[in-house]
């Protein structure tokens, strides 16, 4: 693959990381200010009683869960939102969604973006479409809920364009790491910022499960499906390598590195994003990864089932992200099936999660900070994740649970990990030039 890897430059300095305390700090401040602006002006925010129309790009299983959330919010009268438009490269899926929830159908997502009744776009397409569709959506004046990962692992240059476009647009873009609706991460962030654990030095997290059902088990709507009026193969391929049509590639795309990345990009955003938020760091300094297809080597799967990543930060802290699909023991009490709850370690002590409590354990020799158990205010809820976005849209706020500015840094590290694994090298990040160097 022509990695774009040795010299990957940003289009603008405004995409600097939010919290970098180096020579790039000035441009980081520009990005942070643009993303977290308190309002976008009267024309940019919907009125309190104004209905919001949601358009869905991608109508598969994941999108279906979002459609159900919107219907629930509407039926509970929590907010006046409704389904208005559906787009999918597979006609039967978009028509089935429109029949179930009510709304128009579009074969081309750009036509959906031109629909004035669409205020918020939900993007739940294969990974390699997320960035381009988000860029086009914000430039069309839409607010966005985009599934993780925000880009495919080969698309670092497009990731930078995406971060820049979102910052320039002033639109609200919520990334689908819905675990960020869990208040535990925001509580832990405050505790770290207040100095409870001292200077952070190490953290670990991960994701463990058995089976590649998330890839090989994806639903095949019609084994006899072929390109034509019902199925747009070229639209599905997008900027991925050109291939002859294959029904497995179309319906079970997570099996293939052309369109997905295995645990690193499918599962690790859920594990790594909270840790990144808690620590408050910007871009990584270097990343190294190991793993491969250790339990499920059978074709057509060509994405790893085991992935382990070490991330070093300029702040002299390492984060370990560990995971396999060959064993489901996370070795820690999880708040999600198979998810290993983070432990964040500092010079003075550690924070972790046990059940419904945050646990602080003082480090050896620290006597002025006793062990504490802190109740968690509220757990994860996908409806809350959506409500956070909707309230930001209606009120002109930008205090999103999982904003693009955070995911720019997280996805950079995950891309570095994929490149490190595939090339057997350490990936380094030049924060001044915003370049990944192997």
Read off the pLDDT of residues 59-116 as tens digits, 9 standing for 90 and up. Answer: 999 999 999 999 999 998 778 899 999 999 999 999 999 999 999 999 999 999 999 9
Same domain (yes/no): 204, 343: yes
DSSP 336: S
Task: State residue 339's pLDDT score.
Answer: 77
24 or 353, which is more confident: 353
What's the whole-number mean pLDDT along residues 306-331?
94
DSSP 292: E
Same domain (yes/no): 325, 389: no
- Going by C-alpha positions, the residue among 319, 362, 322 that lies closest to residue 339 is 322
In this structure, the strands spanning 143-146 and 173-175 are parallel
What's the whole-number mean pLDDT along residues 217-235?
97
CA distance 269 to 399: 19
- How do residues 362-398 score in pLDDT, each as one tens digit? 999 999 999 999 999 999 999 999 999 999 999 999 9
137 or 331, which is more confident: 137
185 or 42, which is more confident: 185
User: Are the C-beta atoms of 416 and 284 separated by less than 8 Å?
Assistant: yes
What's the whole-number mean pLDDT along residues 299-304?
96
Same domain (yes/no): 46, 112: yes
What is the pLDDT confidence band of residue 340, given thresholds at 50, 70 and 90? confident
* C-alpha distance from residue 266 to each of 36, 307, 375 (Å): 27, 11, 30
- Going by C-alpha positions, the residue among 192, 146, 191, 193 that lies closest to residue 165 is 146
Same domain (yes/no): 231, 349: no
- Here the CATH number for the domain that contains residue 85 is 3.40.50.720
Domain annotation covers residue 273: yes
Task: State residue 121's pLDDT score.
Answer: 98
CA distance 41 to 25: 27
Name the pTM for this structure.
0.89
Domain annotation covers residue 14: no
Same domain (yes/no): 283, 169: no
Task: Dump the DSSP string for 57-122.
Answer: E--SHHHHHHHHHHHHHHHTTSS-EEEEEEE-SBHHHHHHHHHHH--EEESSHHHHHT-TT--EEE
Task: State residue 253's pLDDT score.
Answer: 98
Query: Is residue 18 scored above 60 in pLDDT?
Result: no
Structure tokens at 280: 């408050």
Same domain (yes/no): 66, 91: yes
In this structure, the strands spanning 81-87 and 52-57 are parallel
Same domain (yes/no): 118, 172: yes
- Give the end-to-end CA distance of the chain in Å, rounded to a whole number: 14
Total number of domains in the chain: 3
Same domain (yes/no): 160, 209: no
């Amino acid at each position: 693959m022509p990695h774009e890897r040795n010299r990957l430059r940003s289009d603008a300095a405004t995409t600097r990381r939010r919290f970098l305390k180096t020579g790039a700090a000035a441009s980081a401040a520009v990005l942070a200010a643009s993303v977290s602006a308190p309002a976008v002006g009267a024309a940019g925010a919907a009125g309190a009683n104004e209905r919001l129309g949601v358009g869905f790009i991608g109508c598969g299983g994941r999108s279906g869960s979002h459609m159900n959330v919107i219907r629930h919010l509407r039926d509970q009268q929590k907010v006046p939102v409704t389904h208005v438009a559906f787009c999918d490269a597979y006609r039967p899926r978009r028509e089935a969604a429109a029949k179930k929830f009510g709304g128009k159908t579009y074969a081309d997502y750009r036509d959906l973006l031109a629909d004035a009744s669409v205020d918020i776009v939900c993007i739940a397409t294969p990974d390699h479409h997320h960035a381009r569709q988000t860029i086009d959506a914000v430039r069309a004046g839409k607010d966005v809920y985009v599934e993780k990962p925000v880009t495919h692992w080969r698309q670092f240059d497009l990731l930078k364009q995406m971060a820049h476009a979102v910052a320039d647009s002033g639109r609200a873009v919520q990334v689908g790491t819905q675990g960020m609706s869990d208040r535990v991460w925001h509580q832990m962030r405050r505790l770290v910022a207040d100095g409870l654990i001292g200077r952070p030095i190490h953290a670990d997290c991960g994701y463990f499960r058995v089976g590649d059902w998330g890839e090989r088990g994806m639903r095949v709507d019609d084994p006899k499906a072929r390109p034509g009026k019902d199925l747009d193969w070229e639209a599905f391929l997008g900027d991925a390598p050109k291939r002859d049509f294959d029904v497995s590639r179309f319906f079970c795309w997570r099996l293939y590195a052309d369109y997905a990345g295995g645990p690193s990009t499918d599962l690790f955003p859920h594990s790594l994003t909270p840790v990144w938020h808690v620590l408050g760091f910007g871009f990584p300094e270097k990343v190294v990864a190991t793993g491969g297809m250790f339990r499920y080597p059978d074709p057509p799967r060509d994405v790893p089932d085991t992935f382990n990543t070490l991330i070093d930060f300029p702040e002299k802290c390492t984060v370990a992200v560990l995971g396999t699909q060959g064993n489901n023991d996370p070795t820690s009490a999880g708040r999600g099936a198979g998810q290993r709850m983070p432990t964040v370690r500092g010079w003075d002590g550690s924070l972790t999660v046990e059940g419904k409590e945050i646990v602080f354990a003082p480090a050896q020799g620290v006597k002025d900070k006793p062990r504490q158990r802190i109740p968690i205010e509220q757990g994860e809820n996908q409806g809350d994740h959506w409500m956070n976005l909707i309230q930001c849209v209606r009120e002109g706020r930008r205090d999103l649970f999982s904003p693009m500015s955070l995911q720019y840094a997280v996805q950079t590290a995950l891309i570095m990990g994929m490149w490190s694994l595939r090339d057997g090298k350490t990936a380094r990040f030049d924060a001044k030039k915003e370049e990944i160097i192997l």
